[in-house]
Amino acid sequence: MALQATSLLPSSVSIYKDGKSSASIKETCFFGVSVSSSNNLKPEFNYSSIKCKELRKRGFSASIIRAQTATTTPAISESAPEAKKTLRKGNVIVTGASSGLGLATAKALAETGQWHVIMACRNFLKAEKAAKSAGMSKESHTVMHLDLASLDSVRQFVDNFRRSGMPLDVLVCNAAVYLPTAKEPTFTAEGFELSVGTNHLGHFLLSRLLLEDLKQSDYSSKRLIIVGSITGNTNTLAGNVPPKANLGDLRGLAGGLNGVNSSPMIDGGEFDGAKAYKDSKVCNMLTMQEFHRRYHEETGITFASLYPGCIAETGLFREHVPLFRLLFPPFQKYITKGYVSEEEAGKRLAQVVSEPYLTKSGVYWSWNKNSASFENQLSKEASDAEKARKVWEVSEKLVGLAPEDN
């Protein structure tokens, strides 16, 4: 039996400038959490409860880890947790670590003393200040410039990172933009619609290029994590609120999403900022699975995605109308109970980066109301292997990679 604890709030509310008119819902979206209390959930041996004590000591609130096999995800093989081959700290790149989930994750990892965090951010100064105000020590992190809305910047970042001489053990693709109230599309440096261009294409190029670096790492558990979202999954209540994610036959993506001789939307439709975000998250989740299919067996790298819960107070909602930003957090806290704090969400993502019990590849993690992780099911579209292959092939052309090129 699946219990859905989801959240609903209009993502676009019209208010006249004089403030007299009542709010009207134009388009709604859910940001919630899908909680499963399936009968087939079983505690993961005693190991989980032992692990749980360690986690609590280290400030992680996860308790017994429960797994629900995702029947719709590709064939999954589990990397055996091995003893660490090196005693050095792990190096993890986190994109968009200047605020919200990325910053909270960087902080959680830095605080363990076992990770050096490369904060890959478009605003260098903001990231430095954010790290300082989060109390991250100077030795715990390096800020490096990365603007995912420019493919040149992505390539430059990879060059700079390689010049630093640091090995790469984990890559976290976290940054995103969400433009639910935009009337017209805006574009990346190369002319792709901004949400898909940044959230998907920028990360696609970054992760394809850095795959080589991950392969070369001697760290015991190498991982590539891409942050997904419940809003892209139409097997949830949240994902069923219009505008729903739908990549269609990818005609807009194949045309370059430029809004001139092709639609700015992946499915070729009219521009809709909320849908573009959801579509980009479907691409993120499909990309993770395609990486898994192509590279997990050969490289042993863990490829995973996750939905950390509704972090209602992050900058993701900065483009929303003030009324939404005011009501969304209490609505999530008290009505849907899907709310998670930035701190808690950061600890969840940090678990996916570092914990030995989360090494399974090709999966999409979620957390239940007790903050226990479980393997969630992706929607039909977000787990469509043929679509994942097509998105991969079209995307590599758009970002200028020859097939299987690195």
Ligand X SMILES: NC(=O)c1ccc[n+]([C@@H]2O[C@H](COP(=O)([O-])OP(=O)(O)OC[C@H]3O[C@@H](n4cnc5c(N)ncnc54)[C@H](OP(=O)(O)O)[C@@H]3O)[C@@H](O)[C@H]2O)c1
Q: What angle separates helix 273-291 from helix 385-398, to the nearest 10 degrees?
A: 100
Examine residue 132 and tell whether it contacts ligand X (CB under 6 A). Answer: no
Examine residue 129 and tell whether it contacts ligand X (CB under 6 A). Answer: no
Compare residues 143 and 146 and give the one whose CB is closer to ligand X: 146
Q: Give how many residues touch ligand X by CB under 6 A.
A: 30
Nearest residue to ligand X, scored by beta-carbon proximity = 100
Compare residues 145 and 215 and give the one whose CB is closer to ligand X: 145
DSSP state of 321: -
Shortest distance, CB of residue 149 to ligand X, whole angstroms?
A: 4
Examine residue 207 and tell whether it contacts ligand X (CB under 6 A). Answer: no
**Count of other CB atoms within 10 angstroms of residue 15:** 15
Interaction residues for ligand X, span 245-274 (CB under 6 A): none
Among 123, 156, 186, 371, binds ligand X (CB under 6 A): 123
Compare residues 193 and 217 and give the one whose CB is closer to ligand X: 193
Shortest distance, CB of residue 363 to ligand X, whole angstroms?
A: 16
Compare residues 51 and 348 and give the one whose CB is closer to ligand X: 348
Query: Which one from 16, 47, 178, 277 is the annotated catalytic residue?
Result: 277
Examine residue 180 and tell whether it contacts ligand X (CB under 6 A). Answer: no
Q: Are 89 and 114 in contact (CB under 8 A)?
A: yes
Examine residue 174 and tell whether it contacts ligand X (CB under 6 A). Answer: yes
Amino acid at 272: D
User: 3-state class of 332 per DSSP?
Assistant: helix
Beta strand 363-367 with 302-306 is parallel
Torsion angles phi and psi, residue 365, rounded to 5: -90, 145
Shortest distance, CB of residue 203 to ligand X, whole angstroms?
A: 9
Interaction residues for ligand X, span 15-74 (CB under 6 A): 31
Q: What is the three-state SS of 145-166? A: ECCCCCHHHHHHHHHHHHHHCC
> Is 277 in the active site?
yes
- Span from 79-87, 142-150, 291-299, 372-380 in contact with ligand X (CB under 6 A): 142-150
Examine residue 161 and tell whether it contacts ligand X (CB under 6 A). Answer: no
Examine residue 341 and tell whether it contacts ligand X (CB under 6 A). Answer: no
Instruction: Show the tokens assigned to 77.
Output: 């093989």
| 286 vs 388: CA distance, rounded Å | 5
Distinct helix (H) and strand (E) counts, the chain:
12, 14
Interaction residues for ligand X, span 63-102 (CB under 6 A): 95-96, 98-102
Instruction: Show the tokens assigned to 254.
Output: 């194949």
* Apex 12 CA angle, 10 and 16, nearest 5: 115
User: 302-317: string of b/e by CB count within 10 Å (b at 16+)?
Assistant: bbbbbbbbbbbbbbbb
Residues that bind ligand X (CB under 6 A): 31, 95-96, 98-102, 121-123, 126, 146-149, 174-177, 198, 227, 229, 307-308, 310-311, 314-316
